[in-house]
Amino acid sequence: MCGIAGSLQIDDGPVDRERLRQMIGVIRYRGPDDVGVYSHGPVGLAHARLSIIDLAGGHQPMSIAQDALVITFNGEIFNYIELRNELIAKGHCFTSSSDTEVLLHLYQEEGERCVERLNGQWAFAIWDAPRQRLFLSRDRFGVRPLYYTRLDGEFLFASEIKALLTFPQVPCALDLIGLDQLFTFWATIPPRTVFRGINQLPPGCSMIVQDGHITITPYWTLDLTGQIEHGGATDSQLAEELFELLQDATKIRLRADVPVGAYLSGGIDSTVVAALARKNAGDRIKTFSVTFESSDIDESRFQHEASAFLGTSHSSIRCRHEDIVGVFSDVIWHTEQPILRTAPAPLYLLSRLAHDSGFKVVLTGEGADELFGGYDIFKETKIRQFWGRRPASRWRPLLLKRLFTLICRKIEA
C-alpha cells in the first residue's frame, strides 16, 4: 500500500506545500520507500511510496506531457502489461515500466472512462491541467481507501482520515449517524464515515472536482438481480472454469519486482491461493500464519499440514491474549473507527511478521469464505428472519447460542 494526499484550492489561491508535507508525513508508514510532493498553481499532490513495480523508476507524484497530467496513485493495476502494449501500439511512449505511468497514459487516451479498463485495486487522483480539474477514482470493491472533505475554498483528500485532521480547520468530531451504521452493519455506508464532515469516495465510483463543484459518478455496480446463465454447462465444466479464473487471478497478482508471500490459515480459501501461487512462482513463495494459545480457535495443525503438502518455507507467530491487548490501540489508530471484534489485532501481528521477514506483498484468501460458504455466519440471516416473523418466540435467545456452539464444534473437529 502507498499513501496519497492532496489539496485543490477552489478559490485559486496557492497551495501550502508545508501542509502537504504534514498530510503525507502522518501516513508515511504506508510508503516508507520514497516520498514526493508536487504543487503548481491551485493544486498540490503528495505521495508516500511502497515500491512494488519498477523500484527505480516509479517515483510519484508522476507526470507526463510536460506536467499536463500529474498523478498520485495507491494500488496496483494487475493488467498493466497488456494495457501498456496496447498503448504503445497506439503511439504512446513510456519512460518507465511502472503501472503508474500506464494509468496516466490510459487516462490521456480514454479520459475518465479509463477506469473501466482496469483490473486491480486503486485509489488515485489525477490533476488534469488543461481542463483545470481533479479526477479521483476508487476500485470496484473499495479495497483501497480514499477520504475527502471540503473547507471554505479548499478540497482535501487522503488515504487516511488522520491526514485530513492535520488541518486545524477540519473538525475532529464524531458522526452519530455513522456510528449507528457501524454498530448496525459493521461498517458505515459510503460516503459516510464516523467523522462528521469527512466522507469516503464510494467503491466503484469516480469523482471530478472542477470550478468549485464535486461530481461523483459510479462506473461499475454489482448486479445482484439477474439470473446466472450457465449456458448448459455441466458441474465439472463450471468447476474447471472456476479453477481457471482462480489461477488467472492469482498469477496476475504475482507481477511484482519484490518477493511475494501468502497467508496460510489452514482453511480451504488461503490454501488454494497459496497452492496456485506456489504453482506459478515456485520456491519464491513463502507462507505466513498466526497461531493462538486457545485450542478452540488455533488452526496450527492444519497450517503445518498445508505448508508441508505445498512445500513452502513457512513462518508463524503465536498470538496470546496479552498480545492482542498490547497492539489494540495501534489497531484502532489504523482502522480510524471502532471495531466490533478483536480479529484485526492478530491480523496486524501477522502483517508485522511478513513485514519483518522482508515481504511487502502477500496474497490472502480474504473474501473466499464468504463466497464459497466456508463460514456459518450466513445462518445468522435465517435466525434474524425467524426473529422478524416470531418476535414473541421463547426460542429467540437460544438460537444464536445453538449456532455458535455448532461453529465451535466444527473448529475443534
pLDDT tens-digit series, residues 131-167: 999 999 999 999 999 999 999 889 999 999 999 999 9
More confident of the two residues 69 and 233: 69
**What mean pLDDT, rounded, does the chain reach?**
90
The candidate with the shortest Cα–Cα distance to 334, out of 346, 348, 315, is: 348
Q: Indicate if the alpha-carbon torsion angle 64, 67, 68, 73 is positive or negative.
A: positive
Please tell me the chain's helix, strand, coil percentages from 3-state DSSP, rounded to the nearest 5: 40, 25, 40
Grid coordinates given for 20: 502537504
Torsional sign, CA 356, 358, 360, 362:
negative
Q: Is 9 helix (H, G, I), strand (E, B) or coil?
A: strand
For 123, the 3-state DSSP assignment is: strand
pLDDT, tens only, 302-313: 999 999 999 999
Instruction: Match 503465536 to its residue by C-alpha cell.
Output: 318
Question: Are residues 38 and 63 in contact, defined by beta-carbon separation less than 8 angstroms?
Answer: yes
What is residue 72's predicted lDDT score, i.e. its pLDDT? 98
Q: What is the pLDDT of residue 268?
A: 81
User: Is this model's pTM higher than 0.85 or not?
Assistant: yes
Give CB contacts under 8 A, 24+ apart, made by 63-66.
63/38, 63/104, 64/101, 64/104, 64/105, 64/108, 65/108
pLDDT at 376: 66
Per the model's pLDDT, the better-predicted residue between 384 and 102 turns out to be 102
pLDDT attached to residue 71? 98
In the predicted model, is pLDDT for residue 374 greater than 70?
no
Query: Closest Cα to residue 308, out of 271, 361, 270, 345?
Result: 271
User: Which one is the CATH code of 3-218: 3.40.1000.10, 3.60.20.10, 2.40.50.140, 3.40.190.10?
Assistant: 3.60.20.10
Phi, psi of 351 (to 5 degrees): -65, -40
Alpha-carbon gap, residue 187 to 267, rounded angstroms: 25
Classify each residue of 361-396 as buried b or exposed e, where b means 16 or more C-beta atoms within 10 Å of its C-beta. Answer: bbbbbeebbeeeeeeeeebeeeeeeeeeeeeeeeee
From the CA atom positions of the chain, what is the Rg in Å? 23
* Grid cell for residue 323: 498480545
Homologous superfamily (CATH) for 235-372: HUPs (3.40.50.620)
Does 381 score more than 80 pLDDT?
A: no
> Is the pLDDT assigned to residue 410 strictly greater than 50?
no
pLDDT per residue over 29-49, tens digit each?
999 999 999 999 999 999 999
Would the pLDDT of 300 be above 70? yes
Q: How many CB atoms lie under 10 A from the CB of residue 129?
A: 17
Q: In angstroms, rounded to a whole number, what is the distance separating the alpha carbons of residues 347 and 351? A: 6
Q: In whole angstroms, how far apart are CA 121 and each of 21, 141, 194?
A: 25, 8, 24
Residue range 66-76: mean pLDDT, rounded: 97
DSSP state at residue 174: B
Q: Judge whether 319 counts as a catalytic residue.
A: no
Enter the DSSP assignment of 201. Answer: P
What's the pLDDT at 370? 66
pLDDT tens digit string along 307-336?
999 999 999 999 999 999 999 999 999 999
| Digit-coded pLDDT (tens) for 79-102 | 999 999 999 999 999 999 999 999
Q: pLDDT (tens digit, 9 = 90+) per residue, 205-255?
A: 999 999 999 999 999 998 876 666 667 788 899 889 989 999 999 999 999
CB–CB of 356/350 below 8 Å? no
**Has residue 412 got a pLDDT over 50?**
no
What residue ranges do the domains of the chain occupy?
3-218, 235-372, 379-412
Q: Of residues 2, 114, 205, 319, which has the active-site annotation?
A: 2
Q: Looking at the predicted structure, is the pLDDT value of residue 299 above 70?
A: yes
* Fold equal for 3-218 and 235-372: no
- Please answer whether residues 271 and 264 qualify as being in contact, where contact means their C-beta atoms are separated by less than 8 angstroms: yes
Residues whose CB is less than 8 angstroms from the CB of residue 77 and which lie 6 or more positions away in sequence, other chains included: 83, 99, 102, 103, 118, 119, 120, 122
The larger pLDDT score, comparing residue 395 to residue 27, is at 27
